[in-house]
Amino acid sequence: MSTKVRVASIAVALGLLTAGGASGQDVGSIVAWGRNIEGECNVPAPNTGFRAVAGGFQHSLGLRFDGSIAAWGLNRHGPCDVPAPNEGFVAIAAGGGAETCVGEDWGGHSLGLKFDGSVVAWGWNDYGQCNVPSPNRDIVAVAAGGWQSMAIKADGSIVAWGLNHNVPAPNTGFVAVAGSGQSWSCYEYGFTLGLHADGSIVAWGWNRFGQCDVPAPNSGFVAVAAGSGHSLGLKADGSLVAWGYNGHGQCNVPAPNSGFVAVSAGWGHSLGLKADGSVVAWGDNSEGQCNVPAPNRGFVGVAAGWWHSLGLKAFPGDLNCDGVVNFDDINPFVSTIGAEPLAWNLAHPGCHWLNADCNADGVVNFDDIDAFVALLSGD
């Protein structure tokens, strides 16, 4: 019997499929750990219903299923003051940097991508990092660095503003971008990583520690992350490549280097999300940013701030990531069984394979069918 037929037959036999579906569960919560001097780890209530998370200098952002953004932590220059109307957002990014020399101001800034393809930027703007260039439309992804902001257009080009905003030619074919945190001195203004559709990485900007020297073979990458002086690349086979400054061991990927589905980089630490929903953290741990709280399972997203870390918990059964469990989740649920986790995530941007782990055993297989059907019923 095919997987699809099996799901349908079990559901019909039990008579559990209802039009309303399950919602309102304590799902999509955020776990935060590490430095908390400015409240960057104090997730505001209600801590539920989040679909994405981002970590900045000393502030954090959470994107809710209803399209609104929650922001908390250090609010110097207003990176936590989400402009009205706080609605219609589909992606977020947080940046900013610390004071590094006399006379330099500092703070954080935030970016939100709207459903209509426009970008909203707010917070510290001394270098124009919140001045979104015209025309502000046709944007499909955003990223925030220390003193710069980046966006990918629907045509595959990168738009950048603030410091270090000169994208190398040819500016085409990009599918992801990452910007570094504010750099180490007054004259070192960060770097940027761009991922091409062919799986190669283009890196530009400050290169004191070789963070822009992508190791060979420069191919097979599916995601990138930029720290303050180090770079991370996720390969299609689930392994990670790390290069650049390694003074805190942030480039020493713990063994086994396999099974990763997402990656993020902070000032001196790195985070990797495994297919089984666990988080691996390494590098600078001076603020406890690498001490993942127990139970270390059920995560579907990670984000590294400067000295703090954030993890997003799963929403079991919500396979189209619209914030509810209903009939629309049946086909994507079926597609997860037997699928390779990283490939599934890449084919379903903004959603998470582990949401199909409805019995919470860390794997997705036939044993999750009954639990999925129960979620459809609202049980």
Q: Which of 322, 363, 228, 300 is nearest to 29 (CA)?
A: 300
239 close to 257: Cβ distance less than 8 angstroms = yes
Q: Tell me, yes or no, whether 250 and 193 share the same domain.
A: yes
Q: Which of 268, 287, 313 is the last residue of a domain?
A: 313
Q: Tell me, yes or no, whether 283 and 373 share the same domain.
A: no
The CATH number linked to 102 is 2.130.10.30
Q: HSE on the CB side for 298, CA within 13 Å?
A: 18
Q: Which of 295, 243, 290 is nearest to 266 (CA)?
A: 290
In the block, residue with structure tokens 């400054």: 245
Q: Tell me, yes or no, whether 227 and 345 share the same domain.
A: no
What is the tally of structural domains in the chain? 2
Q: Which of 280, 313, 346 is the last residue of a domain?
A: 313
Q: Tell me, yes or no, whether 218 and 261 share the same domain.
A: yes
278 close to 29: Cβ distance less than 8 angstroms = no
Q: Tell me, yes or no, whether 163 and 213 share the same domain.
A: yes
Q: Tell me, yes or no, whether 114 and 154 share the same domain.
A: yes
d(CA 357, CA 149): 35
Q: Tell me the average confidence (pLDDT) per consecutive run of 10 residues in the chain, 379 residues long.
A: 43 36 64 97 97 96 97 95 98 81 72 98 94 97 94 97 87 96 62 97 94 98 96 98 97 98 96 97 98 96 96 93 89 90 89 91 90 82
DSSP conformation class of 73: E
123 close to 73: Cβ distance less than 8 angstroms = no
Q: Tell me, yes or no, whether 124 and 161 share the same domain.
A: yes
Report if pTM > 0.75: yes
pLDDT at 181: 73
Q: Tell me, yes or no, whether 291 and 327 share the same domain.
A: no
The residue range of the domain holding 326 is 3-23+317-377
Q: Which of 271, 349, 353, 292 is nearest to 319 (CA)?
A: 353
Q: Which of 294, 313, 332 is the last residue of a domain?
A: 313
Q: Tell me, yes or no, whether 350 and 309 share the same domain.
A: no
pLDDT at 10: 38
pLDDT at 338: 87
pLDDT at 170: 95
Q: Tell me, yes or no, whether 292 and 167 share the same domain.
A: yes
Q: Tell me, yes or no, whether 151 and 237 share the same domain.
A: yes
Residues 311/317/323/327 CA torsion (nearest 10 deg):
160
Q: HSE on the CB side for 328, CA within 13 Å?
A: 10
Q: Tell me, yes or no, whether 209 and 322 share the same domain.
A: no
